[in-house]
Amino acid sequence: MKVLALSGTVGAGKSTVAVALRNELLARGHAAGDLDVDAIATETPAPPDDPFNERVVVEHLRTMRPHWRDAGLQVLLLPRVVETPAQRDAYADALGEAVRVVRIDAPAATRHARLVARHEPGPERDWHLARTDVLALLLEKAAVEELVVENHDRAPSAVAREIADQLGL
Protein backbone atom coordinates (compact mmCIF):
# COMPACT_ATOMS: atom_id res chain seq x y z
CA MET A 1 0.00 0.00 0.00
CA LYS A 2 1.24 3.49 -0.84
CA VAL A 3 0.50 6.26 1.64
CA LEU A 4 0.29 9.94 0.77
CA ALA A 5 -0.16 12.59 3.42
CA LEU A 6 -1.64 15.74 1.94
CA SER A 7 -0.29 18.42 4.22
CA GLY A 8 -0.74 22.15 4.20
CA THR A 9 -1.93 24.92 6.41
CA VAL A 10 -5.59 25.39 7.29
CA GLY A 11 -7.55 26.58 4.29
CA ALA A 12 -5.04 25.26 1.74
CA GLY A 13 -7.52 22.66 0.48
CA LYS A 14 -6.14 19.35 1.80
CA SER A 15 -9.48 17.58 2.18
CA THR A 16 -10.90 18.84 -1.12
CA VAL A 17 -7.78 17.79 -3.00
CA ALA A 18 -7.79 14.41 -1.22
CA VAL A 19 -11.26 13.63 -2.60
CA ALA A 20 -10.23 14.76 -6.09
CA LEU A 21 -7.03 12.73 -5.89
CA ARG A 22 -8.91 9.64 -4.76
CA ASN A 23 -11.22 10.03 -7.76
CA GLU A 24 -8.25 10.54 -10.09
CA LEU A 25 -6.49 7.44 -8.76
CA LEU A 26 -9.67 5.37 -9.04
CA ALA A 27 -10.01 6.52 -12.67
CA ARG A 28 -6.41 5.38 -13.23
CA GLY A 29 -7.24 1.92 -11.91
CA HIS A 30 -5.87 2.19 -8.36
CA ALA A 31 -7.83 0.98 -5.34
CA ALA A 32 -7.60 4.27 -3.45
CA GLY A 33 -9.21 5.66 -0.34
CA ASP A 34 -8.98 8.78 1.75
CA LEU A 35 -9.36 9.15 5.51
CA ASP A 36 -10.60 12.32 7.17
CA VAL A 37 -7.81 12.40 9.74
CA ASP A 38 -9.08 15.57 11.40
CA ALA A 39 -12.38 13.81 12.14
CA ILE A 40 -10.46 10.99 13.85
CA ALA A 41 -8.49 13.52 15.88
CA THR A 42 -11.62 15.25 17.12
CA GLU A 43 -13.50 12.09 18.13
CA THR A 44 -12.17 12.44 21.66
CA PRO A 45 -10.99 15.45 23.65
CA ALA A 46 -7.29 16.15 23.18
CA PRO A 47 -5.10 15.99 26.27
CA PRO A 48 -3.03 19.06 27.16
CA ASP A 49 0.23 17.38 26.12
CA ASP A 50 -1.18 16.35 22.70
CA PRO A 51 -3.34 19.26 21.51
CA PHE A 52 -3.93 17.85 18.02
CA ASN A 53 -4.60 14.30 19.31
CA GLU A 54 -1.76 12.73 17.35
CA ARG A 55 -1.66 9.65 19.61
CA VAL A 56 -5.30 8.91 18.78
CA VAL A 57 -4.55 9.34 15.07
CA VAL A 58 -1.53 7.02 15.18
CA GLU A 59 -3.42 4.33 17.10
CA HIS A 60 -6.32 4.54 14.66
CA LEU A 61 -3.94 4.10 11.73
CA ARG A 62 -2.30 1.14 13.45
CA THR A 63 -5.67 -0.47 14.17
CA MET A 64 -7.02 0.05 10.65
CA ARG A 65 -3.85 -1.12 8.87
CA PRO A 66 -4.85 -4.80 8.55
CA HIS A 67 -8.36 -3.88 7.41
CA TRP A 68 -7.06 -1.69 4.59
CA ARG A 69 -4.63 -4.42 3.52
CA ASP A 70 -7.36 -7.08 3.59
CA ALA A 71 -9.58 -4.82 1.50
CA GLY A 72 -6.85 -4.51 -1.15
CA LEU A 73 -6.34 -0.78 -0.74
CA GLN A 74 -3.43 0.28 -2.92
CA VAL A 75 -3.22 3.98 -2.07
CA LEU A 76 -4.26 5.60 1.20
CA LEU A 77 -4.63 9.39 1.24
CA LEU A 78 -4.33 11.20 4.55
CA PRO A 79 -5.27 14.89 4.47
CA ARG A 80 -3.54 16.15 7.64
CA VAL A 81 -1.10 18.83 8.65
CA VAL A 82 2.30 17.12 8.90
CA GLU A 83 4.62 19.46 10.76
CA THR A 84 7.64 17.28 11.50
CA PRO A 85 9.56 14.28 10.21
CA ALA A 86 8.74 12.58 13.54
CA GLN A 87 5.00 12.92 12.86
CA ARG A 88 5.43 11.51 9.34
CA ASP A 89 7.53 8.66 10.73
CA ALA A 90 4.94 7.85 13.42
CA TYR A 91 2.33 7.44 10.67
CA ALA A 92 4.75 5.26 8.69
CA ASP A 93 5.42 3.09 11.74
CA ALA A 94 1.71 2.68 12.42
CA LEU A 95 0.97 1.75 8.80
CA GLY A 96 4.10 -0.29 8.10
CA GLU A 97 4.67 1.80 4.97
CA ALA A 98 6.66 4.86 4.01
CA VAL A 99 4.57 8.01 4.02
CA ARG A 100 5.12 10.47 1.19
CA VAL A 101 4.14 14.03 2.04
CA VAL A 102 2.70 16.45 -0.48
CA ARG A 103 2.21 20.01 0.72
CA ILE A 104 -0.84 21.75 -0.71
CA ASP A 105 -0.22 25.49 -0.89
CA ALA A 106 -2.44 28.49 -1.56
CA PRO A 107 -1.95 32.24 -1.17
CA ALA A 108 -2.93 33.80 2.15
CA ALA A 109 -5.86 35.70 0.63
CA THR A 110 -7.28 32.48 -0.81
CA ARG A 111 -6.89 30.63 2.49
CA HIS A 112 -8.51 33.46 4.44
CA ALA A 113 -11.47 33.61 2.04
CA ARG A 114 -11.98 29.85 2.32
CA LEU A 115 -11.87 29.97 6.11
CA VAL A 116 -14.32 32.87 6.29
CA ALA A 117 -16.70 30.94 4.01
CA ARG A 118 -16.28 27.71 6.00
CA HIS A 119 -16.62 28.94 9.59
CA GLU A 120 -19.28 31.02 11.28
CA PRO A 121 -18.01 34.20 12.96
CA GLY A 122 -16.61 33.45 16.39
CA PRO A 123 -13.68 31.92 18.24
CA GLU A 124 -13.24 28.92 15.92
CA ARG A 125 -13.02 31.12 12.82
CA ASP A 126 -10.69 33.52 14.63
CA TRP A 127 -8.40 30.65 15.63
CA HIS A 128 -8.23 29.31 12.07
CA LEU A 129 -7.58 32.75 10.59
CA ALA A 130 -4.79 33.37 13.09
CA ARG A 131 -3.32 29.89 12.62
CA THR A 132 -3.21 29.72 8.82
CA ASP A 133 -0.39 32.20 8.23
CA VAL A 134 1.72 31.04 11.18
CA LEU A 135 1.34 27.40 10.17
CA ALA A 136 2.13 28.15 6.52
CA LEU A 137 5.50 29.56 7.58
CA LEU A 138 6.18 26.63 9.91
CA LEU A 139 5.45 24.10 7.18
CA GLU A 140 7.60 25.91 4.64
CA LYS A 141 10.50 25.99 7.10
CA ALA A 142 10.04 22.34 8.16
CA ALA A 143 10.11 21.15 4.52
CA VAL A 144 8.82 17.67 5.39
CA GLU A 145 7.25 17.28 1.94
CA GLU A 146 8.75 15.88 -1.22
CA LEU A 147 6.38 17.85 -3.43
CA VAL A 148 4.61 21.22 -3.16
CA VAL A 149 1.54 21.80 -5.31
CA GLU A 150 -0.27 25.10 -5.73
CA ASN A 151 -4.03 24.99 -5.09
CA HIS A 152 -5.26 28.36 -6.30
CA ASP A 153 -7.39 29.40 -9.27
CA ARG A 154 -7.79 25.91 -10.69
CA ALA A 155 -10.05 22.93 -10.16
CA PRO A 156 -9.18 20.37 -7.47
CA SER A 157 -9.13 17.75 -10.23
CA ALA A 158 -6.26 19.62 -11.94
CA VAL A 159 -4.33 19.72 -8.66
CA ALA A 160 -5.00 16.01 -8.22
CA ARG A 161 -3.77 15.19 -11.72
CA GLU A 162 -0.58 17.14 -11.09
CA ILE A 163 0.07 15.21 -7.86
CA ALA A 164 -0.61 11.84 -9.48
CA ASP A 165 1.59 12.69 -12.47
CA GLN A 166 4.45 14.09 -10.36
CA LEU A 167 4.44 11.04 -8.09
CA GLY A 168 4.10 8.55 -10.95
CA LEU A 169 0.75 7.17 -9.82
pLDDT, tens only, 31-73 = 999 999 999 999 889 999 999 999 999 999 999 999 999 999 9
What does the angle CA 117 – CA 118 – CA 122 come to, to the nearest 5 degrees?
A: 90
| Largest separation between any pair of C-alpha atoms in the chain | 44
Helix (H, G, I), strand (E, B) or coil at 48: coil
Quote the DSSP letter at residue 121. Answer: T
Average pLDDT, consecutive stretches of 10 residues, N- to C-terminus, the chain (169 residues): 97 97 98 95 93 96 96 97 97 98 97 95 93 96 97 96 97
Whole-number Å distance between alpha carbons of 49 and 52: 9
In 31-159 the beta strands, taken as DSSP E runs, fall at: 32-34, 75-79, 99-105, 147-150
Whole-number Å distance between alpha carbons of 102 and 24: 16
Superfamily for the 2-166 domain: P-loop containing nucleotide triphosphate hydrolases (3.40.50.300)
The length of the chain in residues reads 169
Whole-number Å distance between alpha carbons of 11 and 113: 8
Q: Contact 167/147 with Cβ under 8 angstroms? A: yes
Domain limits, the chain: 2-166
